[in-house]
Amino acid sequence: MSETVLEARGVRRSFSVSGGFMKPRRALHAVRGVDFTIRRGEVVGLVGESGCGKSTLAKLLLGLMPPSEGEILLEGAPISGQDRLETARRIQPIFQDPYSSLNPRKSIGTIIGLPLRVQTDLGGAEIARRVTETMDLVGLPARVVDSYPNQLSGGQRQRVAIARALINRPSIIICDEPTSALDVSVQSQILNLLQDLQREFGLTYLLISHDLSVVEHMASRVAVMYLGRIVEERPTAGLFAEARHPYARALLDSVLTPDPSLGIPDTHLGAAFPNPLEIPAGCSFHPRCPKAMPRCCTVAPDPLRIGDGMVECLLHAPDQHDEPEEETTR
Ligand SMILES: Nc1ncnc2c1ncn2[C@@H]1O[C@H](COP(=O)(O)OP(=O)(O)O)[C@@H](O)[C@H]1O
Ligand SMILES: [Mg+2]
Protein backbone atom coordinates (compact mmCIF):
# COMPACT_ATOMS: atom_id res chain seq x y z
CA MET A 1 0.00 0.00 0.00
CA SER A 2 1.39 3.36 -0.95
CA GLU A 3 2.16 6.12 1.45
CA THR A 4 -0.44 8.43 2.99
CA VAL A 5 -0.16 12.01 1.78
CA LEU A 6 -3.04 13.65 3.59
CA GLU A 7 -5.00 12.51 6.59
CA ALA A 8 -7.91 13.94 8.56
CA ARG A 9 -8.35 12.60 12.08
CA GLY A 10 -11.62 13.25 13.89
CA VAL A 11 -11.94 16.64 12.21
CA ARG A 12 -14.79 18.92 13.26
CA ARG A 13 -15.58 22.51 12.38
CA SER A 14 -18.41 24.64 13.70
CA PHE A 15 -19.31 28.25 12.97
CA SER A 16 -21.10 30.64 15.26
CA VAL A 17 -23.91 32.17 13.21
CA SER A 18 -26.61 34.73 13.88
CA GLY A 19 -29.76 33.17 15.31
CA GLY A 20 -31.90 36.00 13.94
CA PHE A 21 -33.09 39.34 15.31
CA MET A 22 -32.67 39.56 19.12
CA LYS A 23 -31.84 35.86 19.28
CA PRO A 24 -28.61 34.33 20.60
CA ARG A 25 -25.98 33.14 18.18
CA ARG A 26 -26.12 29.48 17.26
CA ALA A 27 -23.55 26.84 16.39
CA LEU A 28 -23.58 25.59 12.84
CA HIS A 29 -21.85 22.22 12.62
CA ALA A 30 -20.41 22.12 9.12
CA VAL A 31 -17.98 19.21 9.54
CA ARG A 32 -18.82 16.69 12.25
CA GLY A 33 -16.05 14.17 12.78
CA VAL A 34 -14.32 13.25 9.54
CA ASP A 35 -11.64 10.57 9.27
CA PHE A 36 -10.11 10.38 5.87
CA THR A 37 -6.85 9.45 4.16
CA ILE A 38 -5.47 10.07 0.69
CA ARG A 39 -2.52 8.05 -0.57
CA ARG A 40 0.12 9.13 -3.05
CA GLY A 41 -0.96 8.94 -6.67
CA GLU A 42 -4.61 8.46 -5.76
CA VAL A 43 -7.58 10.46 -7.01
CA VAL A 44 -10.24 10.54 -4.30
CA GLY A 45 -13.68 11.96 -5.01
CA LEU A 46 -15.69 13.79 -2.35
CA VAL A 47 -19.36 14.20 -3.20
CA GLY A 48 -22.53 15.42 -1.55
CA GLU A 49 -25.24 18.03 -1.94
CA SER A 50 -24.59 21.74 -1.62
CA GLY A 51 -24.10 22.73 2.01
CA CYS A 52 -22.98 19.32 3.28
CA GLY A 53 -19.55 20.67 4.27
CA LYS A 54 -17.31 19.82 1.30
CA SER A 55 -15.72 23.25 0.90
CA THR A 56 -15.28 23.61 4.66
CA LEU A 57 -13.46 20.28 4.71
CA ALA A 58 -11.35 21.45 1.74
CA LYS A 59 -10.34 24.62 3.59
CA LEU A 60 -9.48 22.61 6.70
CA LEU A 61 -7.36 20.20 4.64
CA LEU A 62 -5.61 23.13 2.96
CA GLY A 63 -4.83 24.66 6.34
CA LEU A 64 -6.77 27.81 5.38
CA MET A 65 -8.93 27.43 8.48
CA PRO A 66 -8.21 25.58 11.76
CA PRO A 67 -10.47 22.70 12.80
CA SER A 68 -12.56 23.13 15.96
CA GLU A 69 -11.40 19.61 16.88
CA GLY A 70 -9.18 16.94 15.41
CA GLU A 71 -6.14 17.33 13.23
CA ILE A 72 -4.89 17.30 9.66
CA LEU A 73 -1.64 15.54 8.82
CA LEU A 74 0.25 16.35 5.66
CA GLU A 75 2.84 13.70 4.84
CA GLY A 76 2.65 12.48 8.43
CA ALA A 77 3.07 15.80 10.25
CA PRO A 78 0.26 17.98 11.69
CA ILE A 79 -0.22 21.05 9.49
CA SER A 80 -1.05 23.12 12.56
CA GLY A 81 2.64 23.11 13.47
CA GLN A 82 3.94 23.73 9.97
CA ASP A 83 5.14 26.86 8.29
CA ARG A 84 2.34 28.36 6.18
CA LEU A 85 4.53 28.72 3.07
CA GLU A 86 5.78 25.16 3.32
CA THR A 87 2.22 23.85 3.63
CA ALA A 88 1.24 25.93 0.59
CA ARG A 89 4.12 24.48 -1.41
CA ARG A 90 2.95 20.95 -0.76
CA ILE A 91 -0.82 21.32 -0.96
CA GLN A 92 -2.43 23.46 -3.62
CA PRO A 93 -6.06 24.35 -4.31
CA ILE A 94 -8.08 24.75 -7.49
CA PHE A 95 -11.36 26.47 -6.68
CA GLN A 96 -14.69 26.63 -8.43
CA ASP A 97 -14.59 30.18 -9.64
CA PRO A 98 -11.29 30.90 -11.37
CA TYR A 99 -12.20 34.56 -11.72
CA SER A 100 -12.42 35.34 -8.03
CA SER A 101 -9.36 33.23 -7.25
CA LEU A 102 -7.12 35.08 -9.74
CA ASN A 103 -5.84 38.58 -8.98
CA PRO A 104 -7.41 40.78 -11.71
CA ARG A 105 -4.50 43.24 -11.62
CA LYS A 106 -1.74 40.72 -12.29
CA SER A 107 -0.75 39.34 -15.65
CA ILE A 108 -1.22 35.64 -16.39
CA GLY A 109 2.53 35.05 -16.33
CA THR A 110 2.84 36.76 -12.95
CA ILE A 111 -0.06 34.77 -11.49
CA ILE A 112 1.31 31.42 -12.66
CA GLY A 113 4.85 32.21 -11.49
CA LEU A 114 3.83 33.50 -8.07
CA PRO A 115 4.26 30.18 -6.19
CA LEU A 116 7.84 29.98 -7.51
CA ARG A 117 8.58 33.55 -6.45
CA VAL A 118 7.31 33.12 -2.90
CA GLN A 119 8.20 29.48 -2.28
CA THR A 120 11.63 29.16 -3.97
CA ASP A 121 14.70 31.29 -4.61
CA LEU A 122 14.75 30.64 -8.36
CA GLY A 123 15.85 33.55 -10.53
CA GLY A 124 13.61 35.48 -12.93
CA ALA A 125 14.83 33.71 -16.07
CA GLU A 126 14.26 30.26 -14.63
CA ILE A 127 10.80 31.28 -13.37
CA ALA A 128 9.91 32.61 -16.84
CA ARG A 129 11.08 29.33 -18.39
CA ARG A 130 8.98 27.26 -15.96
CA VAL A 131 5.95 29.51 -16.55
CA THR A 132 6.21 28.98 -20.32
CA GLU A 133 6.63 25.24 -19.87
CA THR A 134 3.65 24.98 -17.50
CA MET A 135 1.41 27.11 -19.74
CA ASP A 136 2.19 24.71 -22.55
CA LEU A 137 1.35 21.73 -20.32
CA VAL A 138 -2.10 23.05 -19.47
CA GLY A 139 -2.85 24.10 -23.05
CA LEU A 140 -2.57 27.88 -22.67
CA PRO A 141 -1.23 29.71 -25.73
CA ALA A 142 2.10 31.44 -25.03
CA ARG A 143 0.70 34.78 -26.19
CA VAL A 144 -1.60 35.13 -23.15
CA VAL A 145 1.39 35.41 -20.80
CA ASP A 146 0.96 39.21 -20.69
CA SER A 147 -2.86 39.18 -20.68
CA TYR A 148 -5.04 39.77 -17.62
CA PRO A 149 -7.67 37.40 -16.22
CA ASN A 150 -10.62 39.41 -17.63
CA GLN A 151 -9.23 38.95 -21.16
CA LEU A 152 -9.49 35.17 -20.92
CA SER A 153 -12.44 32.80 -21.21
CA GLY A 154 -13.69 30.88 -18.17
CA GLY A 155 -12.00 27.70 -19.37
CA GLN A 156 -8.69 29.52 -19.94
CA ARG A 157 -8.89 31.07 -16.50
CA GLN A 158 -9.33 27.64 -14.98
CA ARG A 159 -6.25 26.52 -16.95
CA VAL A 160 -4.36 29.41 -15.33
CA ALA A 161 -5.50 28.22 -11.89
CA ILE A 162 -4.36 24.69 -12.77
CA ALA A 163 -0.98 25.94 -13.99
CA ARG A 164 -0.47 27.93 -10.81
CA ALA A 165 -1.42 24.91 -8.67
CA LEU A 166 0.94 22.65 -10.60
CA ILE A 167 4.01 24.79 -11.17
CA ASN A 168 5.85 23.99 -7.95
CA ARG A 169 4.99 20.28 -8.03
CA PRO A 170 2.82 20.00 -4.90
CA SER A 171 2.28 16.67 -3.11
CA ILE A 172 -1.49 17.00 -3.50
CA ILE A 173 -3.99 19.22 -5.30
CA ILE A 174 -7.43 19.86 -3.85
CA CYS A 175 -9.94 20.62 -6.61
CA ASP A 176 -13.14 22.09 -5.17
CA GLU A 177 -15.87 21.99 -7.85
CA PRO A 178 -13.24 22.73 -10.52
CA THR A 179 -15.76 22.75 -13.37
CA SER A 180 -19.01 23.88 -11.73
CA ALA A 181 -18.68 27.50 -12.83
CA LEU A 182 -17.82 26.62 -16.43
CA ASP A 183 -19.97 26.17 -19.51
CA VAL A 184 -20.99 22.57 -19.98
CA SER A 185 -19.02 22.44 -23.24
CA VAL A 186 -15.79 23.37 -21.42
CA GLN A 187 -16.28 21.20 -18.35
CA SER A 188 -15.12 17.98 -19.96
CA GLN A 189 -12.05 19.69 -21.48
CA ILE A 190 -10.95 20.79 -18.02
CA LEU A 191 -11.67 17.38 -16.49
CA ASN A 192 -9.71 15.70 -19.30
CA LEU A 193 -6.83 18.07 -18.70
CA LEU A 194 -6.82 17.30 -14.97
CA GLN A 195 -6.89 13.60 -15.78
CA ASP A 196 -4.06 13.80 -18.36
CA LEU A 197 -1.89 15.75 -15.91
CA GLN A 198 -2.64 13.25 -13.16
CA ARG A 199 -1.53 10.34 -15.35
CA GLU A 200 1.52 12.08 -16.73
CA PHE A 201 2.88 13.23 -13.37
CA GLY A 202 1.31 10.69 -11.00
CA LEU A 203 -0.43 13.57 -9.21
CA THR A 204 -2.56 13.10 -6.12
CA TYR A 205 -5.97 14.80 -6.14
CA LEU A 206 -8.92 15.30 -3.91
CA LEU A 207 -11.69 16.00 -6.40
CA ILE A 208 -14.74 17.63 -4.83
CA SER A 209 -18.08 17.86 -6.60
CA HIS A 210 -21.80 17.87 -5.94
CA ASP A 211 -22.07 15.84 -9.12
CA LEU A 212 -21.14 12.17 -8.97
CA SER A 213 -20.69 11.98 -12.73
CA VAL A 214 -17.76 14.40 -12.43
CA VAL A 215 -15.83 12.09 -10.14
CA GLU A 216 -16.94 8.81 -11.70
CA HIS A 217 -14.30 8.68 -14.42
CA MET A 218 -11.42 10.16 -12.49
CA ALA A 219 -11.58 8.99 -8.91
CA SER A 220 -10.45 5.55 -7.83
CA ARG A 221 -12.22 5.99 -4.50
CA VAL A 222 -15.22 8.10 -3.53
CA ALA A 223 -16.34 9.48 -0.18
CA VAL A 224 -19.99 10.51 0.12
CA MET A 225 -20.70 13.30 2.58
CA TYR A 226 -23.99 14.10 4.28
CA LEU A 227 -24.49 16.85 6.87
CA GLY A 228 -20.83 17.05 7.77
CA ARG A 229 -19.98 13.35 7.93
CA ILE A 230 -18.68 10.82 5.46
CA VAL A 231 -21.48 8.25 5.29
CA GLU A 232 -19.97 5.91 2.71
CA GLU A 233 -16.52 5.49 1.25
CA ARG A 234 -15.71 2.93 -1.41
CA PRO A 235 -13.61 2.18 -4.45
CA THR A 236 -15.50 3.92 -7.27
CA ALA A 237 -16.51 0.82 -9.22
CA GLY A 238 -18.05 -0.83 -6.14
CA LEU A 239 -19.93 2.31 -5.16
CA PHE A 240 -21.37 2.78 -8.63
CA ALA A 241 -22.26 -0.91 -8.92
CA GLU A 242 -24.04 -1.08 -5.58
CA ALA A 243 -24.00 1.80 -3.11
CA ARG A 244 -24.68 0.62 0.43
CA HIS A 245 -25.89 3.84 2.01
CA PRO A 246 -29.42 4.90 1.01
CA TYR A 247 -28.17 8.47 0.55
CA ALA A 248 -25.36 7.34 -1.75
CA ARG A 249 -27.93 5.40 -3.75
CA ALA A 250 -30.16 8.46 -4.05
CA LEU A 251 -27.18 10.55 -5.21
CA LEU A 252 -26.32 7.92 -7.82
CA ASP A 253 -29.88 7.99 -9.13
CA SER A 254 -29.60 11.76 -9.36
CA VAL A 255 -26.83 11.40 -11.96
CA LEU A 256 -29.61 10.82 -14.43
CA THR A 257 -31.36 14.08 -13.57
CA PRO A 258 -31.91 15.97 -16.82
CA ASP A 259 -31.11 19.47 -15.56
CA PRO A 260 -27.49 19.72 -14.36
CA SER A 261 -27.72 23.53 -14.22
CA LEU A 262 -29.73 23.31 -11.00
CA GLY A 263 -26.47 22.89 -9.11
CA ILE A 264 -28.16 20.66 -6.59
CA PRO A 265 -28.75 17.11 -7.68
CA ASP A 266 -32.38 16.07 -7.52
CA THR A 267 -32.09 13.14 -5.18
CA HIS A 268 -35.83 12.43 -5.17
CA LEU A 269 -35.62 12.60 -1.41
CA GLY A 270 -38.24 15.25 -0.99
CA ALA A 271 -38.08 18.83 0.16
CA ALA A 272 -36.57 18.24 3.61
CA PHE A 273 -33.35 19.97 2.71
CA PRO A 274 -30.64 19.09 5.23
CA ASN A 275 -30.01 21.92 7.67
CA PRO A 276 -26.69 21.98 9.54
CA LEU A 277 -28.27 24.23 12.20
CA GLU A 278 -30.75 21.51 13.10
CA ILE A 279 -29.10 18.18 12.73
CA PRO A 280 -31.61 15.40 13.34
CA ALA A 281 -31.04 13.04 16.29
CA GLY A 282 -30.04 9.46 15.59
CA CYS A 283 -28.93 8.98 12.01
CA SER A 284 -28.88 12.50 10.54
CA PHE A 285 -30.27 11.15 7.26
CA HIS A 286 -33.32 9.41 8.78
CA PRO A 287 -35.95 12.10 7.96
CA ARG A 288 -35.24 11.67 4.24
CA CYS A 289 -34.32 8.01 4.21
CA PRO A 290 -36.60 5.68 2.26
CA LYS A 291 -35.34 2.76 4.39
CA ALA A 292 -35.46 4.35 7.84
CA MET A 293 -36.26 2.00 10.73
CA PRO A 294 -37.63 3.13 14.12
CA ARG A 295 -34.23 3.05 15.80
CA CYS A 296 -32.67 5.25 13.13
CA CYS A 297 -34.46 8.17 14.84
CA THR A 298 -32.50 7.69 18.05
CA VAL A 299 -29.33 5.71 17.35
CA ALA A 300 -26.46 7.35 15.50
CA PRO A 301 -24.74 4.69 13.39
CA ASP A 302 -21.02 4.03 13.86
CA PRO A 303 -18.75 3.72 10.86
CA LEU A 304 -18.54 0.09 9.74
CA ARG A 305 -15.73 -1.33 7.65
CA ILE A 306 -17.08 -3.59 4.94
CA GLY A 307 -14.46 -5.13 2.70
CA ASP A 308 -12.46 -2.27 1.23
CA GLY A 309 -15.04 0.35 2.11
CA MET A 310 -16.85 2.06 4.98
CA VAL A 311 -20.52 2.75 5.54
CA GLU A 312 -22.35 4.50 8.35
CA CYS A 313 -25.86 3.05 8.34
CA LEU A 314 -27.84 0.87 10.76
CA LEU A 315 -29.12 -1.24 7.86
CA HIS A 316 -25.62 -2.66 7.72
CA ALA A 317 -24.93 -2.88 11.46
CA PRO A 318 -24.67 -6.59 12.39
CA ASP A 319 -27.08 -6.29 15.33
CA GLN A 320 -29.62 -4.50 13.14
CA HIS A 321 -29.74 -6.96 10.33
CA ASP A 322 -31.46 -10.34 10.14
CA GLU A 323 -28.82 -11.77 7.87
CA PRO A 324 -25.53 -10.10 8.67
CA GLU A 325 -23.21 -9.92 5.71
CA GLU A 326 -19.45 -9.98 5.98
CA GLU A 327 -19.40 -6.85 8.17
CA THR A 328 -17.00 -6.18 10.99
CA THR A 329 -16.90 -3.12 13.20
CA ARG A 330 -13.65 -1.20 13.03
N1 LIG B 1 -17.55 31.00 7.27
C2 LIG B 1 -18.76 30.46 7.53
N3 LIG B 1 -19.57 30.97 8.47
C4 LIG B 1 -20.78 30.41 8.73
N5 LIG B 1 -21.26 29.34 8.11
C6 LIG B 1 -20.50 28.78 7.16
C7 LIG B 1 -19.21 29.30 6.80
N8 LIG B 1 -18.67 28.53 5.81
C9 LIG B 1 -19.60 27.58 5.56
N10 LIG B 1 -20.69 27.72 6.35
C11 LIG B 1 -21.87 26.85 6.38
O12 LIG B 1 -21.40 25.52 6.53
C13 LIG B 1 -22.21 24.62 5.79
C14 LIG B 1 -21.32 23.86 4.82
O15 LIG B 1 -20.87 24.74 3.81
P16 LIG B 1 -19.83 24.32 2.69
O17 LIG B 1 -18.67 23.67 3.35
O18 LIG B 1 -19.57 25.49 1.84
O19 LIG B 1 -20.66 23.21 1.90
P20 LIG B 1 -20.51 22.66 0.40
O21 LIG B 1 -19.16 23.06 -0.10
O22 LIG B 1 -20.69 21.18 0.55
O23 LIG B 1 -21.61 23.26 -0.40
C24 LIG B 1 -23.25 25.47 5.08
O25 LIG B 1 -24.44 25.44 5.84
C26 LIG B 1 -22.65 26.86 5.09
O27 LIG B 1 -23.64 27.84 5.09
MG1 LIG C 1 -18.62 24.03 -1.86
| Ligand 1 center to 202 CA (angstroms) | 31
E strand or H helix at 60, and its extent? helix 54-61
Confidence of residue 261 (pLDDT cuts 50, 70, 90): low
| Ligand 1 center to 142 CA (angstroms) | 38
- Same domain (yes/no): 199, 330: no
Confidence of residue 255 (pLDDT cuts 50, 70, 90): low
SS3 content of the chain, % helix, strand, coil (to 5): 35, 25, 40
pLDDT (mean) for 4-25: 94
- Asked if residue 168 is part of any domain, the answer here is yes
Query: What per-residue confidence (pLDDT) applies to 22?
Result: 87
- As residues whose CB is below 5 A from the ion ligand 2, the structure lists 54-55
- Same domain (yes/no): 301, 244: no
Q: Is the Cβ atom of 109 under 6 angstroms away from ligand 1?
A: no
- Same domain (yes/no): 241, 300: no
Q: Is the Cβ atom of 63 under 6 angstroms away from ligand 1?
A: no
- Same domain (yes/no): 23, 128: yes
Query: What per-residue confidence (pLDDT) applies to 187?
Result: 93
Average pLDDT for the chain:
90
Looking at the DSSP assignment, which residues form a beta bridge with residue 309? 306
Dist CA 74 CA 92 (whole Å): 12
- Asked if residue 166 is part of any domain, the answer here is yes
CATH of the domain at 201: 3.40.50.300
Closest ligand to residue 177's CA: 2
pLDDT(273) > 80: no
pLDDT(267) > 80: no
- Same domain (yes/no): 238, 298: no
Q: Is the Cβ atom of 223 under 6 angstroms away from ligand 1?
A: no
Nearest CA to ligand 1 atom 26: 51
- Asked if residue 288 is part of any domain, the answer here is yes
Confidence of residue 325 (pLDDT cuts 50, 70, 90): very low
- Same domain (yes/no): 158, 195: yes
Nearest CA to ligand 1 atom 10: 30
- Asked if residue 275 is part of any domain, the answer here is no
- Asked if residue 250 is part of any domain, the answer here is yes
Taking only the tens place, the pLDDT of each residue in 26-54 is 999 999 999 999 999 999 999 999 899 99
pLDDT(71) > 80: yes
Taking only the tens place, the pLDDT of each residue in 299-315 is 999 999 999 999 999 99
| Ligand 1 center to 294 CA (angstroms) | 30
217 Cβ contact list (under 8 Å, min separation 6): 191, 195
Single residue among 228, 260, 292 that ends a domain in this structure: 260
Q: Tell me what percent of the residues of the chain surpass a pLDDT of 90.
A: 78
Ligand 1 atom nearest 210 alpha carbon: 22
Whole domain around residue 285: which residue ranges? 280-330
DSSP state letter for 104: T
Q: Are 295 and 317 spatial neighbours (Cβ–Cβ below 8 Å)?
A: no
Q: State which of 56, 65, 97 you would mutate to test the pocket of ligand 1, scoring each by most atoms of that ligand within 8 A of its C-beta.
A: 56
- Asked if residue 32 is part of any domain, the answer here is yes
- Same domain (yes/no): 167, 314: no
Taking only the tens place, the pLDDT of each residue in 195-238 is 999 999 999 999 999 888 889 989 999 999 999 999 999 999 99
Nearest CA to ligand 1 atom 11: 30
- Same domain (yes/no): 184, 298: no
Confidence of residue 323 (pLDDT cuts 50, 70, 90): very low
Ligand 1 atom nearest 208 alpha carbon: 21
Query: What per-residue confidence (pLDDT) applies to 220?
Result: 96
- Same domain (yes/no): 132, 249: yes
Lowest mean pLDDT among 74-78, 260-264, 276-280: 260-264
Query: What per-residue confidence (pLDDT) applies to 268?
Result: 60
pLDDT (mean) for 184-190: 92
Q: Is the Cβ atom of 140 under 6 angstroms away from ligand 1?
A: no
pLDDT (mean) for 105-117: 96
- Same domain (yes/no): 287, 320: yes
- 197-231 per-residue burial string, b: 16 or more CB within 10 A, e: under 16: bbeeeebbbbbbbbbbebbbebbebbbbbbbbbbb
Confidence of residue 321 (pLDDT cuts 50, 70, 90): very low
Q: State which of 12, 17, 28, 227 you would mutate to test the pocket of ligand 1, scoring each by most atoms of that ligand within 8 A of its C-beta.
A: 28
Phi and psi torsions of 16, nearest 5°: -90, 120
Nearest CA to ligand 1 atom 14: 53
- Same domain (yes/no): 247, 300: no
Q: Is the Cβ atom of 132 under 6 angstroms away from ligand 1?
A: no
Confidence of residue 20 (pLDDT cuts 50, 70, 90): confident
- Same domain (yes/no): 198, 297: no
Query: What per-residue confidence (pLDDT) applies to 153?
Result: 94
- Asked if residue 269 is part of any domain, the answer here is no
Ligand 1 atom nearest 225 alpha carbon: 22
- If one counts the domains in the chain, the total is 2
Nearest CA to ligand 1 atom 4: 15
- Asked if residue 122 is part of any domain, the answer here is yes
